[in-house]
Amino acid sequence: MPGYAERVKVFGIYIQGDPIGVVVTTGGIRRVIEFRAVTKRFEDGTIAVDELDLTVEAGTITVFVGPSGCGKTTSLRMVNRMIDPTSGTILVDGKDVLTVDPPTLRRGIGYVIQQAGLFPHRTVLDNIATVPLLSGWDKRKARTRAAELLEIVGLDANFGKRYPAQLSGGQQQRVGVARALAADPPVLLMDEPFSAVDPVVREDLQNELLRLQAELDKTIVFVTHDIDEALKLGERVAVFQTGGHLAQYARPTELLAAPANDFVASFVGRDRGYRTLTFLHADVPVHPVTTAKLGERVTVTDWTLVVDETNRPKGWLSGVDGEVEVAEKDLISGGSLYDGSTLRGALDAALSSPSALGVVVDDVGAVTGVVKADDVIQALAKARAAGEVPK
């Protein structure tokens, strides 16, 4: 199959001669999902989704977030007709999904669910090849494609022969993503895919998804009850309220800066000011710092940062009298490192450092200087004045 670059077309959008944006597409298969006055009432009378109007932009990750029973999962499952709406219309790429026979519709839409839902009786490779085989690919081509995907989701080739029970939760979920991507569907539905794995693995999977999306440019609808996950992954976030109402549909920064009502405000959290820092680019001055290497003899007057051979931070040395030899046992371990991206990273680094100086590192992890908490607060004040932070 052609590489990504060959499939991409770039269109400029101009208004009166001024470029206002570009649309990137993979071979003209960008999809928009539209919910038009969609209502779902279950047999017992509960209203899961109430008059939902919403447009999922093509090529974005759109997150549906809300407490349980808010209709986010029902909304997602109506897109591939796992559930049919009571009234209203859902269009994928302008086509009413109710006019397509469900199995055919589903083969064209990737589907990832909580706990992966892998077929326990099939090997990893056969699990991934499911949709291509259902769509009538020949066996060898499907297997080759499956092996390719295994690599794309970051699993070693020897995982292919294993069975799901022999995989960890995180690995199973990678296979789940691979299975959804196997037939290269333009739309991906993800229903709480990372909820069942531990926090460390979850963060890995989230980063992996962002990396994949940067490459694949799919239209992804992602359901979660975790607001942090929503704010991290979503280009657009739809906050659902109990009873199936859409409370707000906006970019994460807007959601934090201007919650539409009390429900959204409390759902995004009282600490939303702090969360906003995640989305602000830091304009914080980096100060030089005194460094020393292990084993060196130095005179330490103030906080000194100890680094290894490649200039990576090892820990801090507090002020001592006279000349000492820098030894591992004397080190005070440091806080988080700041990679120069967001204001939140800068604040975290400064606040968690024993010296109150946040260590700044470059992309290979080498020390470039330090930031001070005072500077971060000042940058924050500037952003607040500019209206980028909720008051």
Partner 1 sequence: MGGWLFDPAHWSGTTGIPVRLAEHLGYTLLTLLIAAVIAIPLGAFVGHTGKGGFVIVGLSNALRALPTTAVLILVVLWAGLGDFPVYVALVLLAIPPIMAGTYAGVRAVDPVTVDAARGVGMRESGVLLQVEIPNALPLIYGGFRGAALQVVATATIAAYTGAGGLGRLVFDGLALQEFGQMLAGAVLVALLAVLVDLGFAGLQRLTVSPGLRPVGTGGKR
Residue ranges that bind partner 1, judged by CB under 8 A: 80, 82, 102-108, 111, 113-123, 130-131, 134-135, 162-166, 179-180
What minimum distance in Å lies between the beta carbon of 163 and partner 1? Answer: 3
Beta carbon nearer to partner 1, 108 or 335: 108
Q: How far is the CB of 39 from partner 1 (least distance, A)?
A: 22
Q: How many residues make up the chain in this entry?
A: 391
Closest CA to 357 of 334, 341, 326: 334
Cβ atoms of 58 and 31 within 8 Å: the answer is: yes
Nearest distance from C-beta of residue 73 to partner 1, angstroms: 11
Residue 161 DSSP class: G
Whichever of 40 and 106 has its CB closer to partner 1, that residue is: 106
Half-sphere exposure of 287 (CA within 13 A, CB side): 15
Exposed, middle or buried, 49 (CB in 10 Å: 0-12/13-18/19+)?
Answer: buried
Smallest gap from Cβ 131 to partner 1, in A, equals 5
**Contact present, 246 and 362 (Cβ < 8 Å):** no
- Vertex 54 angle, CA 51 and 59, to 5°: 155
| Residue given tokens 């080739």 in the structure block | 157
Q: What is the closest distance, in whole angstroms, from the C-beta atom of residue 188 to partner 1 in the complex?
A: 12
Q: Strands across the sheet with 291-293, in order?
A: 291-293, 304-307, 313-317
Nearer to partner 1, 106 or 272 (CB): 106
Closer by beta carbon to partner 1, 198 or else 328 = 198
Task: Provide the minimum distance between the beta carbon of 351 and partner 1 in the complex, in angstroms, as a whole number.
Answer: 41
Least CB distance from residue 374 to partner 1, whole Å?
A: 51
Closer residue to partner 1 in complex, CB, 134/286: 134
Which lies closer to partner 1 via its Cβ, residue 109 or residue 360? 109
- Going by C-beta distance under 8 Å and a sequence separation of 6 or more, which residues neighbour residue 212? 152, 153, 177, 181
How far apart CA 165 and CA 171 sit, in angstroms, is 10
Q: Which is nearer to partner 1, 108 or 369 (CB)?
A: 108
